[in-house]
Structure 1
Amino acid sequence: MGQSETGAVPDRLGALLRSLRLDRGMTQEELGAASGMSVRSIRDLERGVSCPRISTLRLLAHTWQLSEAQGAELHRLARAKRDGTPGRQGSAVRS
């Protein structure tokens, strides 16, 4: 219970990525066009199927013009996902 489909911790990173995209009124297709990422990659990140590389996080932060704090939160959640440790509850930084 409370685990992502990959069997790891709940995927707060994917939820935050989806939330940031929706806050900006973007579809996955629009984000793909703006960032150069494939729609499948975006979908997999949001569903927690894959964990983004640092370069992908930087690309998304640049595409969305995130603040330094928001970018740091993405990196923290990605680290937690890779390490298999839960992120702090309620710590997501949103715009």
Structure 2
Amino acid sequence: MSIGSANYPQPVQVNGFTCRNCTDVDNAKKHIDPAHPRSGPYGIYADTDPSNPKSFIQFGGSLSGTEAATARTTARSTGQVLDIQV
């Protein structure tokens, strides 16, 4: 008997994290992000983890040189308001 793949056929969700194998599930049960395990539980070591992005929002293309708006900026300042209508 051989194991065809160590990954699950479909990802599962554990504590809000997407898990693809048993190691990911074990980390997620400890509240460690499987995508960035060096960040530690609840991301307490995220500042020292080189694989973890500094911001949740990363712009690409023509917006790659801009910074994400922080909570301190006002929503009405020029260039930081994005109006999306469907």
TM-score (norm 2): 0.25
Return the structure number with greater relative CO, CA threshold 8 A, min gap 6.
1
Bigger fraction of residues in helix:
1
Bigger fraction of residues in strand:
2
TM-score (norm 1): 0.24
